[in-house]
């Protein structure tokens, strides 16, 4: 019986190894010696434990490994990272991501779990036999387990690492065990103090108050990336209506970057409206839902604006119905409040959403601040056939890239209808229309997307290009047509808006700058690249996934030359300080609120 048990567990060990290393082939830069050594150590350790101590549950372990790999694969294809137990709170959101899950559930992903049912039938008979069988522990077992434990565990406790770095250095088992351990450990807080920022006097600021006495309409465009602006594909303009706005009466920020975390769209809202960093591995709207923020809607409300938010998804998604009042929104209209005449993907289609939004705004008290969040160009970008108007090249049919172009082209068509409706309602000339992308749609972690976009741009498609999103201030009749190339991010949105509206920002606590009145551009990148990564007006620094600074990507993108990593340490330290100081502020506010309850 011992021999058959050993053979069976060895068989499961081999299958587990094949699945794990097959998963590693889908993740960039993870196949390295330390990863293979750690994974091997964990596999042997678990093999011995479940052969001699928990032998009745060997198949249970195999099921856990297989299902975890299946989930990890689907999650990575969507978000470019591995899931965390901290995100179990987000399980109610899974239903709304059904299209994404179905899109990435392919033949390869099913290989992780396809054998569980037939193996389970066989294991049931084996389990009944094992319950009545005893056998002795072989000599040297404990020594072998200790050696495996050294290889598997010591690296995790020998240095301070973040979960993503653990995975890229030590692999699948180390990541998930480390992730679970962090839930029960109290994180050390970096000792960063809040520094006061210097601000110019309003009268001396460029474009001060050029959009005063206007209604403010902000549109957060789902998955819009900066390369879409003026892009031509197969002889067609991909976003003709957005391009028309950029070319007339607009200030266009072409070096603007996303700073979102796991919350994606919701995190884009938080950073833009609050001007503080998101947690990264937790959704800001979930974590800070009870804090009253001095956010952009509240500031504008205090200056006489009537504030309203509108979104074509259900109100509970990303906890919007709860946090919006804490941001200063007086009214929130979600899918439940609209006529649901056509719903696909993540919610109400953009054309209907925009048309009904104008019906609300034309009867809304003025001046108003309206915040609109679109959904039709959400991943996996599969829209109804009748709305696919772009003529795709044969190689782009039924690909993520092709689907993305079709979806953003439709969203742009809806934007054109929105502008026309604003004009007919008499709102267009009396507003400032602000548009920005919430986050990328196509990331380099997706092999297909990276290869296709690298071919189109004739250079490697990196996270710098992916996380670059458009920001447009369109002010009808202003006669301004300017491109601002100062590097900035969503954290700079609040102060830049206040400047053109003509509201003094000296009392605002934030980490953003007014991009129209700063000489030195800088943005701390988040989540898809490790904290400490940044872009400034000359340099791009991307921390290595394994957390080793010497392995990081450092380039002068103006000159197209590589840099030694140590020439970027000043920006690295500035990015980390900004993120950690913001985190300390939010944790202090959260702790204070908890004491008052």
Nearest 5°: the CA angle 382, 26, 545 is: 105
Q: How far apart are the first and last CA of the chain?
A: 60
Helix count and strand count (H, E) for the chain: 19, 18
The answer to whether 581 and 193 are in contact (CB under 8 A) is yes
* DSSP per-residue letters across 451-478: HHHHHHHTS---HHHHTEEEEEEE-TT-
Distance CA 41, CA 57 (A): 20
**Strand-pair partners of 344:** 347
61: three-class secondary structure by DSSP: helix
Tokens of 550: 């010497």
Distance CA 318, CA 90 (A): 8
The answer to whether 508 and 476 are in contact (CB under 8 A) is no
Binding residues for substrate: 378
CA 450 vs. chain centroid, Å, equals 17
Query: Burial of 93 by CB count in 10 Å (0-12 exposed, 13-18 middle, 19+ buried)?
Result: middle
Rounded to 5 degrees, what are φ and ψ at 77? -65, -30
The answer to whether 491 and 509 are in contact (CB under 8 A) is no
**Strand-pair partners of 311:** 373
* DSSP per-residue letters across 499-539: HHHT---TT---S---TTS-SS-EEE--SSS-BTBEEESSE
Distance CA 160, CA 176 (A): 16
Binding residues: 222, 265, 378, 438-439
Q: Which residue has the tokens 């108007």?
A: 389
- Cα–Cα distance list, 68 to 80, 112, 501 (Å): 16, 9, 50
Tokens of 503: 């509201």
DSSP-derived pairing of the beta strands 331-333 and 306-311: parallel
Sign of CA dihedral 77, 79, 82, 88: negative
* DSSP per-residue letters across 230-257: T-EETTEESSHHHHHHHHSSEEEEEEEE
Binding residues for Mn(2+): 222, 265, 438-439
144 belongs to the catalytic site = no
Rounded to 5 degrees, what are φ and ψ at 436? -155, 155
- Cα–Cα distance list, 556 to 124, 214, 568 (Å): 61, 41, 10
List the alpha helices (DSSP H) in 328-399.
Answer: 350-361
- Residue 16 has what DSSP assignment? H
Tokens of 469: 């999103």
- Of 265, 374, 486, 496, the catalytic one is 265
DSSP-derived pairing of the beta strands 539-542 and 534-536: antiparallel
Catalytic residue list = 265
């Amino acid at each position: 019986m011992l021999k058959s048990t050993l053979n069976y567990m060895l068989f499961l060990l081999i299958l587990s190894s094949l699945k794990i290393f097959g998963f590693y082939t889908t993740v960039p830069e993870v196949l390295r010696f330390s990863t293979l050594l750690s994974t091997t150590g964990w596999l042997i350790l678990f093999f011995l434990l479940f052969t001699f101590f928990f032998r009745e549950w060997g198949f249970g372990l195999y099921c856990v490994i297989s299902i975890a790999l299946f989930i990890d694969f689907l999650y990575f294809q969507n978000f470019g990272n591995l899931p965390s137990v901290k995100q179990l709170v987000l399980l109610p959101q899974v239903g709304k991501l059904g299209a994404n899950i179905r899109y990435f559930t392919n033949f390869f992903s099913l290989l992780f779990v396809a054998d569980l049912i037939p193996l389970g039938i066989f294991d049931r008979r084996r389990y009944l036999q094992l319950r009545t069988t005893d056998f002795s522990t072989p000599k040297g077992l404990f020594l072998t387990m200790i050696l495996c434990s050294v290889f598997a565990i010591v690296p995790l406790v020998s240095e301070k690492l973040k979960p993503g770095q653990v995975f890229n250095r030590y692999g699948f088992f180390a990541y998930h065990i480390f992730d679970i351990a962090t839930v029960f450990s109290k994180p050390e807080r970096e000792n960063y103090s809040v520094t006061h920022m210097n601000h110019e006097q309003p009268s001396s600021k460029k474009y001060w108050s050029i959009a005063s006495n206007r209604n403010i309409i902000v549109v957060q465009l789902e998955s819009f990336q900066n390369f879409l602006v003026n892009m031509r594909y197969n002889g067609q303009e991909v976003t003709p209506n957005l391009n028309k706005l950029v070319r007339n009466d607009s200030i266009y920020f072409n070096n603007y970057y996303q700073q979102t975390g796991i919350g994606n769209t919701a995190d884009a809202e938080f950073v833009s409206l609050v001007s503080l960093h998101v947690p990264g591995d937790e959704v800001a709207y979930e974590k800070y839902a009870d804090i009253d923020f001095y956010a952009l809607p509240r500031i504008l409300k205090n200056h006489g604006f009537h504030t309203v938010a509108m979104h074509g998804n259900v109100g509970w998604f990303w906890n919007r119905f709860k946090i919006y009042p804490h941001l200063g929104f007086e009214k929130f209209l979600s899918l439940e409040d609209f006529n649901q005449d056509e719903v696909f993907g993540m919610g109400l289609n953009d054309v209907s959403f925009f048309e009904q939004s104008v019906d609300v705004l034309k009867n809304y008290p003025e001046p108003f601040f309206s915040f609109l969040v679109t959904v039709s160009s959400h991943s996996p970008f599969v829209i109804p056939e009748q709305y696919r108007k772009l003529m795709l090249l044969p190689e782009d049919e039924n690909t993520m890239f092709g689907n993305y172009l079709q979806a953003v082209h439709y969203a742009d068509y809806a934007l054109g209808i929105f502008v026309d409706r604003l004009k007919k309602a008499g709102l267009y000339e009396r507003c400032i229309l602000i548009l920005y992308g919430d986050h990328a749609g196509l990331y380099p972690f997706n092999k297909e997307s990276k290869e296709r976009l690298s071919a189109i741009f004739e250079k490697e498609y990196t996270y710098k290009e992916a996380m670059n999103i458009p920001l447009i201030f369109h002010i009808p009749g202003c006669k301004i047509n300017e491109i601002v190339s100062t590097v900035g991010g969503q954290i700079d949105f609040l102060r830049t808006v206040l400047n053109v509206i003509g509201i003094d920002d000296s009392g605002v606590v934030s980490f953003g700058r007014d991009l129209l009145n700063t000489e030195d551009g800088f943005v701390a990148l988040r989540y898809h690249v490790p904290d400490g990564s940044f872009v400034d007006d000359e340099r791009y620094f991307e921390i290595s996934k394994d957390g080793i600074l010497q392995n990081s990507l450092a380039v002068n993108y103006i000159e197209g030359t590589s840099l030694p990593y140590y020439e970027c340490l000043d920006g690295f330290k500035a990015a980390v300080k900004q993120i950690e100081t913001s985190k300390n502020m939010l944790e202090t506010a959260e702790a204070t609120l908890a004491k008052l309850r």
